[in-house]
Structure 1
């Protein structure tokens, strides 16, 4: 039940109903809470490894799924890029203009989230893929754009970003045929 996000007390109540009473369950509510806490403590040490392993299994078994990652000398995750079949179909249809931007590193790993997005015929955002990066250097962006090109096989006609000089450098080097434009919202926000 923990795997499908049923909290410990609710899981205990389900087991109580199934087995016919508190005494028939064999554990207490506190035992369920403690078990969930121990699982979380164990996962906390291996969560990045488990996530990468899960994505690599998807890549192995799903033909339209792509995933790339790289680590530093200390085997810490530096970059992770992934996309699914729907993202590939979105890019085939709506990939003439692509936007990507890095969020502030607000997660507990201080990694930035980099979504690749486009706009469909109804002016709705569509996803082309996503990445987590440990740093926002030109080299990590070059790695990311190489992964993007490997997954899609072609570059977009137009790339829209904020005023990040590292992104600009990577785009100029790898997306030679693309026009790079700045996002007006970011420009106005900084003004």
Structure 2
């Protein structure tokens, strides 16, 4: 065999204008199609893509757990696992000596693909719906792609896309009416209870915020440093849970207020911060901690809400 050649590897033309296909390029293409937050048309498409990826990487795939929407047979999520997932069953139904030694294939491999969707929505990787913010998901993809220039979209595109997907998560009329009635009853019983609701163009509840008297008192004493976290979501409507948190003199967390939002747009955050300041009689914080959501950061800068620091 001649030096520099490998047995079994085909030779390709070496002209500069000819692109040489390699296994790595195939894997890269499949990884992009299976990237965090990517969208597929069906469960079958995701399965075939993952099987192709597994074949290129040298392992096989088997179908794993699945979950349906409550009280329906409609699929909500599906997992595809490496065939080596799990461990060998140590139980033995017979004490007879086996004629041959069975090959151990279950080696606790953790490789898997999970896809999920909202009801009547598109199938996508479960990372965003698992409580990871859009900002963190995009940062992960930028890191995996060795830079934001290789992702194929900018952060604003990701926020706009997620906002479009979540338009159907507005609170239904019956639940919205019950919510507002609860707020009214609570305000009638507690003089200092504060609440506010933002409606969309169809008069559906988009965002709402509330705080009680203790929240206002705690903010008066401990509101110099404010933390806002938007990485959690509710189960039914997939609403963003946004607690306003501070730290008291015992180094314990205290709640200043709680909001639920249907999207993470700059307009929604501007409404939220305006409402929060109104609830706290205009008192501003000195420093603010956030989860680096770009839309939130834009709203903070637009409203000039970080006089000393923003982390």
Task: Decide: shared fold, TM above 0.5.
Answer: yes
C-alpha distance after superposition, 1:32-88 (max 9, x if no partner): xxxxxxxxxxxx972232112211332344221110001112222111000000000
Query: 1:91 aligned to 2:192?
Result: no
Equivalents in 2 of 1:162, 1:110: separation in Å? Answer: 18
Aligned to 1:49: 177
Cα drift, residue 92 of structure 1: 0.4
Cα displacement (A) at 1:176: 3.8
Q: CA deviation at 1:150?
A: 0.6
- Decide whether the 8 Å contact of 2:232 with 2:242 is kept in 1: no
- Helix, strand or coil at the partner of 2:296: helix
Rounded to whole Å, the distance in 2 between the matches of 1:123 and 1:74 is 44
- Does 1:181 pair with 2:310? yes
Please, which of 256, 267, 277 is the counterpart of residue 139 of structure 1? 267
Distance (whole Å) between structure 1 residues aligned to residue 202 and residue 176 of structure 2: 14
**Residue 112 (structure 1) aligned with residue 278 (structure 2):** no
Q: Give the aligned partner of residue 276 of structure 2.
A: 148
State whether residues 159 and 178 of structure 1, in contact with CA within 8 Å, keep that contact through their aligned partners in structure 2.
no
List aligned pairs for 1:7-22, cutoff 5 A. none
Find the counterpart in structure 1 of residue 206 from structure 2.
78
Which protein is richer in helix relative to its size?
1
Q: State the partner residue of 2:300.
A: 171
Extract unaligned runs of 5+ from structure 2.
1-171
Bigger radius of gyration, 1 or 2? 2
Q: Deviations over 1:87-118 (max 9, x none)?
A: 00000010000000113434211110000000
Q: 1:175 to 1:57 in 2, by over 3 A?
A: farther
Flag the structure with more relative contact order, 1 or 2, with Cα contacts below 8 A and sequence separation at least 6.
1
1:101 paired with 2:219, answer no
- 67 and 106 in structure 1: CA distance in 2 versus 1, 3 angstrom threshold: closer
Q: Residue 124 of structure 1 aligns with which residue?
A: 252
Over the residues paired in the alignment, what is the CA RMSD in angstroms?
A: 1.8
Hey, what does 1:5 align to over in structure 2?
none
Aligned positions, number: 139
How far, CA to CA, are the matches of 2:228 and 2:275 in structure 1?
14
Residue 162 of structure 1 pairs with residue 291 of structure 2: yes
The TM-score with structure 2 as length reference comes to 0.42
4+ residue runs over 4 A deviation: none
For residues 67 and 47 of structure 1, the distance between their equivalents in structure 2, rounded to whole angstroms, comes to 16
| Secondary structure of residue in 1 paired with 2:214 | helix
The CA distance in 2 between the partners of 1:159 and 1:166, in whole Å, is 15
Residue equivalent to 1:25 = none
- SS state at 1:144 partner: helix
Query: Taking structure 1 as the reference length, what is the TM-score of the superposition?
Result: 0.67
1:123-155 residue CA offsets vs partner (Å, 9 max, x unmatched): 110000000000001100000000011111211
